[in-house]
């Protein structure tokens, strides 16, 4: 087993009598022992947000830019979620970006040339990613070819596949109002609050059921006060997010008025842009589902075990080869979802979809968030936090300087710091 995985058995949560004080003490003890998790990324996110807000309060700290920031990060976050599964094994997938582009290209062709309805076209696009992952995973697990070599070959090959599908310098429009709405439309105001209620209610029930189960079995469990604090913190944080996103994001200048939602709009009126972007709901559903898979299922425990020590896992009866294949399939399927988000944002698919810095930003997001490059340590939420850090840098720096060189240097430095923190925490955990 990995020395870095934190489970209920390895490090129990605060006991019933300890309360919040003991929970805080246990947390700092884990940090001192090298289990820093996503703490550096969270602190970095706060510092960057405060810095850009202080430097550009009128542009960076605005309702419009806040929603734009979430949309910018959505595809990178989803792509990073898939990479978390691969990185947990100590492997790498260099082809994830162009897997996203290839799946998006197949989706666009299925809509435009094959005339399929959007649900079927979407299914075909997602299955394209799954098949690519199956192919990569089989070569890595069955033949023993290093994942770096296999995915580098696929990185090159999939670029050729995209050119064959789309054509040199061509583009294919995404002909589906439903899929275009994912990155370009917002939820009704009531739907945002409904989402908030469902998330908080679901977390409340699931977490309390877990606590009750541990108490019934006579095991150490989270104190009730700690559980209440967690629920209230999540409710406040998500509630503030929904409240901010439900505000009108267009500035109504003197002499102007907002356009009505129905009926004929006056000339020169200000469009109403409000509500939680649909992309946020997509990311939220994936975070909840994938977190459950990694944290509450035997498959998730096997992933951590294989990433920590593949040989010990094999001797314990875990099918290491199939675990690797499944993780690559999950990673490539999520890359296909990211491809849909990229195509929805651009309204089309081109040979550059999923290219440029897409893969590098996704790997950076996973690592910056706290997922270890050495395997065995990481969570789905790491991709979210790391993706937000990448998005804040990409969104805030252009407001301060137009020199792209500075933007690349800063992003690379942040990634290097994250990798350094990972290495140091590994050493401290081993020493502890």
- Judged against a pLDDT cut of 70, whether residue 124 lies above it is answered with yes
Q: What is the mean pLDDT of residues 36-53?
A: 79
Q: What is the mean pLDDT of residues 39-66?
A: 79
DSSP 260: P
Token reading at 275: 């509500």
**% helix, strand, coil for the chain, step of 5:** 70, 0, 30
DSSP 176: -
- Judged against a pLDDT cut of 50, whether residue 14 lies above it is answered with no
- Judged against a pLDDT cut of 60, whether residue 347 lies above it is answered with yes
Cα 275 to Cα 247: distance, rounded to the nearest angstrom: 7
Which secondary-structure segment (H or E) carries 35?
none
Between 22 and 267, where is the model more confident? 22
Strand, coil or helix: 138: helix
User: Given pLDDT bands bounded at 50, 70 and 90, which one contains residue 211?
Assistant: confident
- The model carries a pTM of 0.85
- Judged against a pLDDT cut of 80, whether residue 228 lies above it is answered with yes
Query: H-type helices in 297-378, by residue range?
Result: 298-308, 310-315, 320-346, 358-369
Residue-level pLDDT at 42: 81
User: Given pLDDT bands bounded at 50, 70 and 90, which one contains residue 1?
Assistant: very low
| Contact (Cβ atoms closer than 8 angstroms) between residue 165 and residue 105 | yes
Nearest to 136 by CA among 88, 99, 97: 99
Residue-level pLDDT at 253: 55
Domains parsed from the chain with CATH numbers? 37-185+277-431 (1.10.3470)
Residue-level pLDDT at 17: 46
Token reading at 276: 């939680």
Cα 227 to Cα 207: distance, rounded to the nearest angstrom: 8
Which residues make Cβ contacts (< 8 Å) with residue 138, sequence separation at least 6? 325
Render pLDDT for 160-173 as a digit per residue (tens, 0 to 9). Answer: 999 888 877 678 88
Residue-level pLDDT at 326: 94
Strand, coil or helix: 349: strand
Between 62 and 146, where is the model more confident? 146
Partners of residue 270 on adjacent β-strands: 258
- Judged against a pLDDT cut of 80, whether residue 354 lies above it is answered with yes
């Amino acid at each position: 087993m990995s020395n870095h995985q934190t489970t209920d058995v390895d490090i129990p949560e605060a006991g019933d009598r300890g309360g919040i004080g003991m929970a805080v003490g246990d947390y700092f003890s884990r940090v001192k022992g090298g289990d820093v998790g996503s703490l550096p990324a969270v602190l970095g996110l706060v510092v960057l947000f405060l810095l850009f807000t202080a430097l550009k309060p009128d542009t960076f700290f605005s309702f419009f830019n806040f929603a734009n920031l979430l949309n910018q990060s959505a595809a990178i976050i989803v792509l990073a979620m898939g990479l978390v599964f691969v990185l947990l094994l100590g492997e790498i997938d260099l082809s994830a970006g162009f897997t996203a582009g290839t799946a998006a290209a197949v989706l666009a062709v299925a809509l435009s040339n094959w005339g399929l309805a959007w649900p079927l076209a979407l299914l075909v696009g997602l299955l394209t990613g799954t098949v690519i992952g199956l192919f990569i995973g089989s070569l890595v697990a069955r033949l023993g070819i290093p994942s770096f070599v296999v995915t580098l070959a696929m990185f090159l090959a999939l670029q050729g596949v995209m050119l064959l599908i789309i054509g040199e310098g061509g583009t294919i429009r995404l002909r589906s109002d439903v899929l275009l709405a994912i990155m370009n439309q917002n939820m009704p105001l009531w739907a945002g609050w409904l989402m908030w209620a469902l998330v908080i209610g679901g977390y409340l029930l699931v977490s309390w059921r877990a606590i009750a189960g541990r108490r019934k079995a006579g095991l150490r469990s989270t104190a009730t006060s700690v559980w209440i604090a967690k629920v209230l913190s999540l409710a406040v944080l998500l509630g503030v997010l929904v409240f901010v996103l439900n505000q009108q994001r267009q500035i109504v200048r003197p002499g102007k008025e907002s356009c009505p939602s129905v009926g004929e709009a006056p000339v020169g009126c200000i469009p109403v842009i409000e509500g939680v972007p649909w992309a946020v709901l997509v990311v939220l559903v994936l975070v909840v589902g994938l977190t459950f898979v990694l944290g509450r299922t035997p498959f998730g425990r096997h992933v951590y075990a294989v990433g920590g020590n593949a040989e010990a896992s094999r001797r314990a009866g875990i099918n290491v080869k199939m675990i690797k294949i499944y993780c690559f399939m999950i990673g490539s399927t999520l890359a296909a979802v990211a491809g849909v988000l990229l195509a929805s944002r651009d309204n089309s698919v081109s040979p550059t979809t999923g290219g440029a810095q897409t893969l590098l930003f996704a790997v950076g997001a996973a690592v910056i968030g706290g997922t270890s490059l050495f395997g065995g340590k990481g969570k789905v939420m790491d991709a979210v936090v790391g993706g937000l850090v990448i998005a804040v840098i990409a969104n805030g720096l252009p407001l301060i300087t137009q020199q792209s060189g500075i933007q690349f240097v800063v992003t690379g430095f942040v990634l290097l710091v994250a990798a350094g923190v990972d290495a140091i925490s590994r050493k401290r955990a081993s020493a502890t």
